[in-house]
Chains A and B, each alone.
Chain A
Amino acid sequence: DTEVTQTPKHLVMGMTNKKSLKCEQHMGHRAMYWYKQKAKKPPELMFVYSYEKLSINESVPSRFSPECPNSSLLNLHLHALQPEDSALYLCASSQVLSLAKNIQYFGAGTRLSVL
Chain B
Amino acid sequence: QKEVEQNSGPLSVPEGAIASLNCTYSDRGSQSFFWYRQYSGKSPELIMFIYSNGDKEDGRFTAQLNKASQYVSLLIRDSQPSDSATYLCAVYNQGGKLIFGQGTELSVKP
Chain A residues proximal to chain B, CB less than 8 Å: 41-43, 45, 48, 56, 88, 90, 97-109, 111
Contact = CB atoms under 8 A, between A and B. Distances in A.
B98 interface: yes
Contacts of A98: 96
B31 A99 contact: yes
B46 A103 contact: yes
B43 A102 contact: no
Size range of the chain B interface in the assembly: 20 to 34
Given A42-B88, A42-B103, A97-B96, A102 B32 contact: yes
Nearest to B97: A45
13 contacts: A43-B44, A45-B97, A88-B43, A98-B96, A99-B94, A100-B92, A101-B49, A103-B49, A104-B46, A106-B43, A106-B44, A106-B46, A109-B43
Chain A interface, DSSP helix/strand/loop, else mixed: loop
Contacts of B36: 106
Q: Which 5 pairs across A and B sit closest by C-beta, in order of nearness?
A: A42-B100, A109-B43, A106-B43, A99-B92, A106-B44
Contact of B32 (A48, A90, A101): A101
A105 B98 CA distance: 12
A77 B101 CA distance: 28
Interface in B64-110: 88, 92, 94, 96-98, 100-103
Contacts of A100: 31-32, 51, 92
A111 B88 CA distance: 20
Interface in B25-44: 31-32, 34, 36, 41-44
Nearest to B98: A104
B55 interface: no
B44 A99 contact: no
B13 to A, nearest CB: 20
B46 A43 contact: no
Given A99-B92, A106-B44, A108-B43, A42 B102 contact: yes
Contacts of B45: 106
